[in-house]
Copies of this chain bind each other. A is one copy, B any other.
Amino acid sequence: MAEAAREEGSGSFVAHAHDHARCVRGALERAEELCRQRGVRLTDIRRQVLALIWSGHRPLGAYDILTKLASERGGKAQPPTVYRALDFLQEQGLVHRVQSLNAFVGCQLPEETHRGQLLLCRGCGDAAELVDGACFEALERSASATGFKVEGFVVELSGLCPACLEREDKEAP
């Protein structure tokens, strides 16, 4: 399963053209399985919100989700509905909040409780997730050295994904 996830792009950006239906399907299947194992309920709304988030690899704002959800449900969805679903999905590690964008993106490795770096491309807007334990150990070590007890990490790097970098190099060589 971990390998399947990796094939779909975990740890790096997916190609701008790829079998995205497979990403979505995989994400939903993994979510179902995880929730089943944990004895929590992946309700219709939660599944719908998760699917909407996985409609692309670009972080989505809560109100983007709200708009799409409302249109899927006949125009009747309110902010709390979306935020509650997002809270649940975050608790289960199925989505990440992107602090620097006030947006949400699907987690590419929900099985492991990991501490990942988010890579955010300013070209295409896509996000990718990177798990490098050594980085977090280094961050924690230097914080601990000051007597600080670390409980949570937010690590978000902005820049250009490989595809956008190449395109930009071509345009302005």
The chain A residues found within 8 Å of chain B, CB to CB, are 11-13, 99-100, 117, 119, 121-122, 128, 130, 132, 134-135, 138-140, 142-143, 146-162, 165
Contact B119 A146 (CB under 8 A): yes
Task: Select A162's contact among B100, B117, B146, B154, beta carbons within 8 Å.
Answer: B146
- Within the complex, the shortest CB–CB distance from A108 to chain B, in Å, comes to 13
Given the complex, which residues of B lie within 8 Å of A143, measured CB to CB?
A: 117, 119, 130, 157, 159
Cα–Cα, bound, A139→B128 (Å): 14
Contact B148 A162 (CB under 8 A): yes
Q: How many copies does the complex hold?
A: 2
Contact B134 A146 (CB under 8 A): no
Given the complex, which residues of B lie within 8 Å of A99, measured CB to CB?
A: 99-100, 154, 156
Contact A153 B142 (CB under 8 A): no
**Majority DSSP secondary structure for residues of A touching B:** mixed
Given the complex, which residues of B lie within 8 Å of A150, measured CB to CB?
A: 119, 157-159
Would A146 and B12 be within 8 Å (CB), given that A154-B156, A157-B139 are in contact?
yes
- Within the complex, the shortest CB–CB distance from A6 to chain B, in Å, comes to 12
Closest B-chain residue to A142, C-beta based?
Answer: B132
Closest B-chain residue to A131, C-beta based?
Answer: B142
Contact B130 A142 (CB under 8 A): yes
Cα–Cα, bound, A100→B155 (Å): 10
